[in-house]
Amino acid sequence: MKLLSDLFSTDYGRASIAGIAFMIGMGVFFIRFFIRKMDEETLAEQKKINK
């Protein structure tokens, strides 16, 4: 219980939470970004082939 208390009540605990949340957010952003770019590239190649 002290662990959770330290995590949410101290400056270094809050900084840790913020850092972890930021890294997870970056991971989600980059996964979505790269998947979107791969799909765009696939569509562009298909259009090029069909013309």
Q: What does each of the 51 residues of the chain score in pLDDT, given as a tens digit?
A: 899 999 999 999 999 999 999 999 999 999 999 999 999 988 888 888 876
CA atoms within 13 A on the CB side of 19: 7
Alpha helices in the chain (DSSP H): 2-9, 11-50
Q: What is the pLDDT of residue 51?
A: 67
Q: What is the pLDDT of residue 50?
A: 78
Q: What is the pLDDT of residue 42?
A: 87
One-letter identity of residue 31: I
Q: Which residues of 13-43 are buried (b: 16+ CB within 10 A; e: fewer)?
A: eeeeeeeeeeeeeeeeeeeeeeeeeeeeeee
